[in-house]
Amino acid sequence: MFKSIKKKVAAFWKISDEVARGKAVETLEVELEELDHILGILVLGVFIGLPSPPMQISLELMPMMEKELILMMEKVDTANEPIAQLFSTLSID
């Protein structure tokens, strides 16, 4: 009987650990995406009126910033229509 309870508690603990790890990974992915957005704004901020970093830094980072540049262009396209951003997120065609 004690072994049965011990197995059930261990199984419950394992499941709750997996759920907590999954939520932690999701949170980290969202934070990483937001940090990518911040980096994109810092480097490509001249397009929205922010002071630009030194030109050498911008030019060195530009080849690595393709994804952020595409993301910023998409945000400019959907900036006037928040519903369009929602539909883009939900993949509604």
pLDDT digits (tens, 9 = 90+) for 39-87: 877 777 777 777 877 878 878 877 888 877 787 777 676 666 667 656 6
Task: Identify the residue with better confidence: 50 or 27.
Answer: 27
**Rounded mean pLDDT, 9-13:** 91
Task: Identify the residue with better confidence: 76 or 27.
Answer: 27
**pLDDT value of position 14:** 93
CB burial of 41-78 (b: ≥16 within 10 Å; e: otherwise) equals: ebbbbeeeeeeeeeeeebeebeeebeebeebbeeeeee
Task: Identify the residue with better confidence: 18 or 75.
Answer: 18
CA 91 to chain centre: 17
